Structure 1
Amino acid sequence: MRIRVARPDDAPAVVAMRAAVFPYLVRGVESTRKMIAEPPPEEGWTALVAEVDAEVVGWVSAECAGWTSTPNFGDISLLHVHPEHRRRGIGTALLTAATDHLRPLGIRKVRAMAQPDALPFARRHGYEPSREVRYSALALDPVPALPEVPPNVRLLPISDLDPHLLYAADVAAAADEPGDAPVDSISYESWTYDVWDNLGLDKTASTAAEIDGELAAFSLVKRDGDRMWSDFTGTIPAYRRRGLARLTKTAALHRAAANGVRVAYASNDEENGPMLAINTRLGYRPVASQWTCLADLT
């Protein structure tokens, strides 16, 4: 077994392995290939793979968290090992390599995700569970009924929007999202990389709601074949409590289903009551959970 930096040609193997470990996550081969070939603009991003007999059997990425004002905060993302290669020290080697990458960058607090059965592993390495995240799925046959669209509301695909306006709405809607650190400092460059220029973003299915010409709410869809991920559904605070989040999300599901999507996935912090209520009303059902876990590198 060896740990090495990921290469673009690893993308098919990484996506296949991810499907075995996280069947509820949606990210295609080409978007994964692009991420490896053209890394995110955040300082210090890296992706590492574990290789056994020239086969990719593990993955982890690590970065300085540029999306938050919390100082010296880093992310270790999607550490996973193929089920047939577990309990051989591969996960520990990947975690150690990711931590060794972040420490010289000044990172002192690290967040990682762990499935419930991996919490003992996380604790052994100094990570304590913090927040539970629910993953849900919805079969789009039939598609949930579309609520009545108020006369002053206009629904449109985000392809019709100026990305600067969508960025501003995303920042405003995410400011009070529950989490381990506030999402309050994402730059337009980083947002463009992660959202607008993401190869998986379906700009036709992703839907926005305008009220009197002002962007009020939106629901973003990332897609891989007949599977989609509800990347973020948000409402600008001034327009909340009008049913706009459910309206835009349902409209996005209808557009996606019309173009061949058969199942939709989403994730929510267990303390995000309003969005969990919307998803339950739409018919989403829990399929998995993970925990955010925090470690102090000092």
Structure 2
Amino acid sequence: MVGVTAFRIRPARPDDAAALVALRAVVYPFLVRGEESMRRLIAEPAPGEDWAGYAAEVDGRMVGWVAALRDPRAEDRDFGQISQCHVDPAHRGRGIGTALLTEATSYLRSIGVSRAAARISPEAVGFAERRGFRASSRVMRFSARDLSLPPCGVPPRQPGIKLCSVRDVPEAALYQAELEATGDVPEEVPSGPSSYETWCHEIRDEPGLDRDSSTVALAGSRVVAFTLLMRDGERGWSDMTATVPDHRGRGLAYMVKVATLRRAARSGMRIAYASNAGENAPMLAVNTRLGYQPVATQISCVAVL
């Protein structure tokens, strides 16, 4: 086409991190991952994770991105994921999204994956369906809490429960709580528990984890609820909130989230984002009570490759 600069697709490099963070802030401002975290994601995928990322460039500038992976915890080894295929709005309509998707699906086929899940914005459903994906009824809801607004209250007290930061608890106790609490988390691709090695990579060693704001609830020395907050400057992301089964229904998720948001606000965070599966009514109710406001939705899609 006359007057249109050609684009190229290439494998991701660790030094793409800054450009990728900037691109994502334009297309998906509610997805928070800082430059150091993104650099590590590209350079050091989780142990046992089959992962590949691809960048689209125009005149040497990143204008699009996609990642493809097979989670090491996936129970079905034929199932993979295509993560956040997105293009700068100023460069859409030129085939860049299609080219990125082609690279991602080719990679998944090369590692033996025959089906793939993806989450897409509602306006992109037609794009996905023309390329073999079928939308499901599953929806991910994203919300934001402006931390410059009045605090969301004081964490309620409960007998026998103590709150402290993630920094102040043994890693083995936090890992055990995740194993107990996340077995029934709704997922597009059913998966087993994290190995300790994978958990250390994704949580313990994650550079973006705000260890001082992230909060746990202790019953004695046992972690019975926790919320993990990822951070990029003044923006935060609620990566996971969970309560062990035998302590549910007591308001502990609300308690740890109140404490985390208050700590984050005091340390200079200005906005906190969260996501919840549409069917996870209890956590949606907690976030509504905390003052989170809806900002976006994504729809789950699946394709046979």
| TM-score of the superposed pair, with normalisation by structure 1 | 0.96
SS at match of 2:207: coil
CA contact (8 A) 2:164 2:216 kept: yes
Within the candidate set 132, 135, 142, 1:135 is matched to 142
Matched, 1:267 2:237: no
Which moves more between the two structures, 142-151 or 57-66? Answer: 142-151
Within the candidate set 195, 205, 208, 2:213 is matched to 205
The corresponding residue for 2:3 is: none
The corresponding residue for 2:153 is: 145
Which moves more between the two structures, 50-59 or 159-168? Answer: 159-168
CA contact (8 A) 1:174 1:183 kept: no
Q: Could you give the per-residue CA deviations for residues 37-71 of structure 1, whole angstroms, max 9, x where no partner exists? A: 22222332111101111111111111112233133
Matched, 1:43 2:49: yes
The corresponding residue for 2:199 is: 191
Within the candidate set 27, 51, 69, 1:63 is matched to 69
Matched, 1:161 2:169: yes
Within the candidate set 212, 221, 236, 2:229 is matched to 221
How far 1:266 sits from its partner (Å)? Answer: 0.1
How far 1:171 sits from its partner (Å)? Answer: 2.4
How far 1:175 sits from its partner (Å)? Answer: 1.0
Cα 1:264/1:193, change in 2 over 3 Å: same
2:281 and 2:86 map into 1 onto residues whose CA distance is 29
The corresponding residue for 1:117 is: 123
CA contact (8 A) 1:157 1:203 kept: yes
2:122 and 2:48 map into 1 onto residues whose CA distance is 29
2:49 and 2:213 map into 1 onto residues whose CA distance is 32
After superposition, the CA RMSD in angstroms is 1.2
How far 1:212 sits from its partner (Å)? Answer: 2.6
The corresponding residue for 2:13 is: 7
Within the candidate set 36, 39, 53, 1:33 is matched to 39
The corresponding residue for 1:100 is: 106
The corresponding residue for 1:80 is: 86
1:180 and 1:37 map into 2 onto residues whose CA distance is 26
| Structure 2 unaligned spans of 5+ | 1-6
Matched, 1:232 2:240: yes
Matched, 1:19 2:17: no
SS at match of 1:107: coil
Q: Could you give the per-residue CA deviations for residues 76-107 of structure 1, whole angstroms, max 9, x where no partner exists? A: 11110111111111111111101100112111
Within the candidate set 183, 187, 190, 1:179 is matched to 187
CA contact (8 A) 1:202 1:222 kept: yes
2:122 and 2:30 map into 1 onto residues whose CA distance is 15
Within the candidate set 54, 60, 66, 1:54 is matched to 60
The runs of 4+ residues in structure 1 deviating greater than 6 Å are: none
| TM-score of the superposed pair, with normalisation by structure 2 | 0.94
1:187 and 1:100 map into 2 onto residues whose CA distance is 28
1:70 and 1:246 map into 2 onto residues whose CA distance is 34
CA contact (8 A) 2:177 2:223 kept: yes
Cα 1:280/1:103, change in 2 over 3 Å: same
How far 1:274 sits from its partner (Å)? Answer: 0.3
SS at match of 1:25: coil
1:271 and 1:123 map into 2 onto residues whose CA distance is 23
Cα 1:43/1:228, change in 2 over 3 Å: closer
Q: Could you give the per-residue CA deviations for residues 185-213 of structure 1, whole angstroms, max 9, x where no partner exists? A: 32222222222211110111100001132
The corresponding residue for 1:243 is: 251
How far 1:24 sits from its partner (Å)? Answer: 1.0
Which moves more between the two structures, 188-197 or 266-275? Answer: 188-197
Equivalent pairs counted in the alignment come to 297
SS at match of 1:45: strand
